[in-house]
Copies of this chain bind each other. A is one copy, B any other.
Amino acid sequence: MHTAHGVIRTPIFMPVGTLGTVKSLSPEELSAAGAQIILGNTYHLYLRPGCDVISRFSGLHRFMNWQGPILTDSGGFQVFSLAKLFKIREEGITFQSHIDGSTHLLSPEKAVEIQNCLGSDIIMCLDQCIPYPAEKHQAQDALELTTRWAARCKTAYEQNFRPGSALFGIVQGGMFKYLREASAAALAEQDFNGYALGGLSVGEPKELMFEIADFTLPKLPDNKPKYIMGVGTPSDLVELVGFGADMFDCVLPTRNARNGQLFTKHGTLNISNAHFRDDTEPAESGCNCYTCRHYSRAYLRHLYMAKELLSYRLNTIHNVHYYLNLMEEMRTAIYHDEFETFRKKFYANMER
């Protein structure tokens, strides 16, 4: 994928930089861990520090000192999950800030406007997320509204087109295959630069998530990037790449790092475990990340138990590196047409 801030090799995982920072990491550490693109949260940045501040820096890149590509979400998902009250109408979503209770309208046009102000390389259309489980009529109403909003987003995007930027549509339809198919077709007709699957990993059984993704991905245009939003565990990524997904974002590697959980090729480890008290080995033997090259499990455990700020950072560096390295291994396997071999090896390692 080509963006105004560089080329992205897919499939790729995007570390989540909610508030203009991937929690605890510097941009240099993100690059060293292999980050090609990061995600910014429109809802959060719109409320804090606000578009007027970020526009003083001509966008998020300079504000946060990240020179690579940035994908921003539409803000919709956070409104549904964080705002105090929200009301969905044809015009858009009216909500109250979870910070100061102030009232705002997030319309398709506003979502594009904010993302333009953030200088986003990949803009996401405003969509309506539904909970799981949901009734058919609820899923259908939401996807139809999402389709109409997508058209309005596209118009707004084209009216204020920034060269190098891209606009992605979001497929909804809940856990109903025929609705997913209808949503994919309606969006494909509108011709976006890429397509996302929204409304997955919202509480449904894992098998159902895989079934919907496997069903829907081939329904999308073959020559456009396909992005599964908010997913997932390492094995989720392996399965979904197998189904043809190109892009992912998830807070798991960063959030779990701050809770002391480290991802390794042999599964996760909780660094608070007393077993690691005097363990001189790195978090993951053979790992090439900054943390594993310089620090032991004993030191990581000590920092975590003492609630030292460096703990969250060293753990995050490792987890982000783990995720990004996993994606790189998948890219290499795909390039050499050895994905199935890779997949088997991935699971064999996990069981060792």
> Which residues in A have some Cβ–Cβ distance to B below 8 Å?
19-21, 23-26, 48-49, 52-53, 56-57, 63-65, 277-278, 280, 294-296, 298-299, 301-303, 305-306, 308-310, 312-313
Query: Cβ of B23 and Cβ of A53 under 8 Å apart?
Result: no
Query: Cβ of A24 and Cβ of B280 under 8 Å apart?
Result: no
> Cα distance A72–B168 when bound, in Å?
56
Query: Cβ of A65 and Cβ of B294 under 8 Å apart?
Result: yes
Provided the pairs A53-B278, A57-B296 are in contact, do residues A48 and B302 lie with their beta carbons within 8 angstroms? yes
| Residues of chain B contacted by A299 (CB below 8 angstroms) | 20, 57, 63-65
Query: Cβ of B280 and Cβ of A57 under 8 Å apart?
Result: yes
**A309 to chain B: closest CB distance in Å?**
4
Query: Which of A49, A65, A277, A313: most chain B Cβ within 10 A?
Result: A49
Question: Knowing that A48-B305, A49-B277, A65-B295 are A-B contacts, what are 11 other residue pairs whose CB atoms are under 8 Å apart, sorted by A's residue number?
Answer: A19-B306, A19-B308, A21-B308, A53-B277, A57-B296, A63-B296, A63-B299, A63-B302, A309-B309, A309-B313, A313-B313
Query: Cβ of B65 and Cβ of A298 under 8 Å apart?
Result: no
Name the residue of chain B whose CB is nearest to the CB of A29. Answer: B26
Pick the 5 closest A-B CB pairs, nearest first.
Answer: A24-B309, A49-B302, A65-B294, A21-B310, A53-B278
Provided the pairs A23-B308, A26-B310, A309-B23 are in contact, do residues A56 and B298 lie with their beta carbons within 8 angstroms? yes
> Cα distance A52–B280 when bound, in Å?
12
> Cα distance A298–B298 when bound, in Å?
38
Query: Cβ of B53 and Cβ of A302 under 8 Å apart?
Result: yes
> Cα distance A24–B313 when bound, in Å?
8
**A78 to chain B: closest CB distance in Å?**
14
> Cα distance A277–B25 when bound, in Å?
22
Provided the pairs A65-B294, A298-B63 are in contact, do residues A52 and B20 lie with their beta carbons within 8 angstroms? no
30 contacts between A and B (CB under 8 A): A19-B306, A19-B308, A20-B303, A21-B308, A21-B310, A23-B310, A24-B313, A26-B310, A26-B313, A48-B302, A49-B298, A49-B302, A49-B305, A53-B277, A53-B298, A53-B302, A56-B278, A56-B280, A56-B298, A57-B299, A63-B296, A63-B299, A63-B302, A65-B294, A65-B295, A65-B299, A309-B309, A309-B312, A309-B313, A313-B313
